[in-house]
């Protein structure tokens, strides 16, 4: 009689334990996938947002907005339309950004933070190029099935 109740109970506990560990494994795999995806997206978006020439500033910076969301998209749009694009065209400013590294700080199903290490070279007219190294905290949110930049904070 004891075997009639104990063995099924043990089997049930083992099945529940196996299910729990499978769930944990799947959750960890999703987080790892989000870390890799968001680091790549943050890298590509950073280059797109910070690279332009006088002739391509309007098209490139407007295209970069497609990867942004929320209030950050609004502030980026305002900055590029009011300052960056007119300045690039009037003063013949070119900027080239290169990401030297990106590291995921945190990632969940719908939110991620990535540190992006950026080298940017800027040329104004015929002046000598100036190089700037910076680190940026890029915040991303999943909207539908896309990761979009919701924050871009130099640190």
Domains and CATH numbers, the chain: 2-154 (3.10.450.230)
- The tens digit of pLDDT for each residue in 18-68 reads 787 777 666 666 677 888 899 999 999 999 999 999 999 999 999 999 999
Report the pLDDT value the prediction gives residue 59, as an integer from 0 to 100.
Answer: 97
| C-alpha span between 94 and 76 (Å, rounded) | 18
Distance CA 99, CA 150 (A): 19
Q: How far apart are CA 49 and CA 64, in angstroms?
A: 6
Residue 9 reports pLDDT greater than 90: no
Predicted TM-score (pTM) of the model is 0.80
């Amino acid at each position: 009689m004891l075997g009639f109740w104990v063995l099924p109970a043990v089997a049930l506990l083992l099945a529940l334990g196996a299910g729990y560990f499978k769930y944990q494994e799947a959750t960890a795999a999703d987080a790892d996938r989000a870390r890799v995806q968001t680091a790549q997206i943050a890298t590509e978006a950073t280059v797109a947002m910070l690279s332009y020439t006088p002739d391509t500033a309007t098209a490139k910076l407007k295209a970069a907005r497609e990867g942004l969301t929320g209030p950050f998209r609004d502030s980026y749009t305002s900055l590029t339309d009011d300052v960056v694009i007119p300045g690039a065209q009037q003063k013949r400013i070119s900027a080239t950004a290169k990401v030297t590294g990106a590291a995921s700080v945190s990632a969940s199903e719908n939110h991620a933070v990535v540190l992006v290490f950026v080298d940017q070279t800027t040329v104004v007219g015929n002046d000598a190029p100036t190089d700037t190294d910076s680190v940026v905290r890029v915040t991303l949110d999943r909207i539908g099935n896309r990761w979009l930049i919701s924050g871009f904070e130099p640190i």
